[in-house]
A = this chain, B = another copy of it.
Amino acid sequence: MNEEMKAVIDAIHNSDRVLVTSHENPDGDALGSTLGLGLGLEKLGKEVVFYNKDGVPELLTFLPGSERIETSLEGAGNFDLAFAVDCTGTSRAGGEFEDFLKAGRCRQVVIIDHHQTNSTSADIRLLDSGSSSTGEIVYLLLKTMSVGIDEAIAKNLYTTIVSDTGSFRYSNTNPVTFRDASELVEHGVDPSEISEALFESEPLRKLRLVALVLPTLSVREGNRVASVVIDRSMFEKAGARREDTEGLVNIPRSIKGVEVAVAFREETGNGSPYWKISLRSKGDVDVARIAEHFGGGGHKKAAGCSVEGVLEEVQSKVFGCISGELK
């Protein structure tokens, strides 16, 4: 057991009231880690309050305990300990939580995270960037404390893994990921039930949007670059929401031989139109370099940026830059 793990366990033993939160716009790892940890702490006799500034997105309401997530800290009282899980810093949990900490309402703050982070905004930081999800770190913590993993905890933690690995498809998937999944399924998780909830519960409007986006699919550079366009008229026609564009860049990415996939999404800020650009790499091209060229950023395999202008100009600039990066 490392120093940080030991410190977290000591902090838990010395606490009665515990607050658990995660980053804004929570995903499966954020909420699954919040609930898995909090339900585990309750088994140790702690009084737990679950909080997320933005609440639970419709897609994740199947998570056991999700109905207990509060969206306000008003009247929450004081806490011996607060956890900010899947957060690179306490500020990721939002302004209300930051103010709460500043007001001295939590005696100690712990961050549990698998992102590479430099934040020093907590008393203890339990970090493992080799972990596929924050949920796996939470699972190790609960096991180390001999918490009995019940079905509700297992479902939450299994969801963190499936969410953050894209169902065991991303490069963060490793032998420990599979070992943890195996154990969690033994604790009563039905993998097909979680997969169905996460991947086979699309709103009809999203499919309507995809139907409008697909005809814009185009390829260039001998199929090495593929792209789609999502403009405002499509949104209106499909009755779609912003969240429905999530993952649309995977359409051009799915084509054989494509090295760089791009999605152009029309936005309006204060008057001037601009395009939000999602970039994905399947080969050796570092798309973060392309995004940085336009003032954006990200990782080698996934990055994004915004560019002002009409579509043709924007595409010409972006495709020109990509062309220069292809070997």
Chain A positions within 8 Å of B, measured between CB atoms, are: 162, 167-171, 173-179, 181-183, 185-186, 190-192, 195-196, 199-204, 207-208, 210-211, 214-215, 217, 219, 223, 251, 253-257, 282
C-alpha gap A208/B211 in the complex (Å): 11
Instruction: For the complex formed, measure the closest distance between the CB of A39 and the CB atoms of chain B, giving whole angstroms.
Output: 21
Q: How far is the CA of A177 from the CA of B178 in the complex (A)?
A: 9
| Chain B residue with Cβ nearest A200 | B254
Query: Among the listed B171, B175, B200, which residue makes an inter-chain contact with A182, where contact means beta carbons less than 8 Å apart?
Result: B175
Known contacts A214-B211, A223-B204; is A169 also within 8 Å of B182 by CB? no
Report whether B255 and A204 are in contact in the complex, using a CB–CB cutoff of 8 Å: yes
Query: Given the complex, which residues of B lie within 8 Å of A257, measured CB to CB?
Result: 201
For the complex formed, measure the closest distance between the CB of A208 and the CB atoms of chain B, giving whole angstroms. 8
* Most central of A169, A181, A217 by chain B CB within 10 Å: A169
Chain B residues in 8 Å Cβ range of A177: 182
Contact A203–B251 (Cβ < 8 Å): no
Task: Tell whether A254 pairs with B199 under 8 Å between CB atoms, given A169-B191, A169-B192, A219-B204.
Answer: yes
Distance in Å from the Cβ of A60 to the closest Cβ of chain B?
13
Do A168 and B168 touch across chains, with their CB atoms under 8 A apart?
A: yes
Question: Which of chain B's residues has its CB closest to A194's CB?
Answer: B169
* Residues of B contacting A170 in the complex (Cβ-Cβ under 8 angstroms): 191-192, 195
Contacts of A169 in B (CB 8 A): 167, 191-192, 195, 199
Report the minimal beta-carbon distance from A135 to chain B, rounded to whole angstroms: 15
CA of A2 to CA of B168, assembled, Å? 32
CB neighbours (8 Å) of A208 from chain B are 217
B255 near A202 (CB under 8 angstroms)? yes
A207–B251 contact, CB under 8 A?
Answer: yes
Beyond A178-B182, A208-B217, A211-B215, list 10 extra A-B contacts (CB 8 Å): A169-B199, A170-B195, A177-B182, A178-B181, A204-B219, A204-B255, A204-B256, A207-B254, A207-B255, A210-B214
Q: How far is the CB of A113 from chain B (nearest CB, A)?
A: 22
If A182-B182, A256-B203 touch, does A191 touch B173 (CB 8 Å cutoff)?
A: yes
Question: Is there an interface contact between B185 and A173, defined as CB atoms closer than 8 Å?
Answer: yes
A186-B175 in contact (CB<8A): yes
A172, chain B: closest CB distance, angstroms: 8
Q: Are B253 and A200 in contact (CB under 8 A)?
A: yes
Chain B nearest CB, measured from A263 CB (Å): 14
Contact B185 A178 (CB under 8 A): yes
Residue of B nearest to A176 (CB): B182
Instruction: Please report the C-alpha to C-alpha distance between residue A200 and residue B210 in the assembled complex, in whole angstroms.
Output: 17
Residues of B within 8 A of A195 (CB): 168-170
Give Cα A177–Cα B189 distance, bound, in whole angstroms. 14
5 example contacts (A-B, Cβ-Cβ < 8 A) are as follows A167-B167, A179-B182, A182-B182, A207-B254, A211-B217
Closest Cβ of chain B: how far from A229's Cβ, in Å? 13
- Bound-state CA distance A177–B215 (Å) is 39
Select A175's contact among B185, B196, B200, beta carbons within 8 Å. Answer: B185
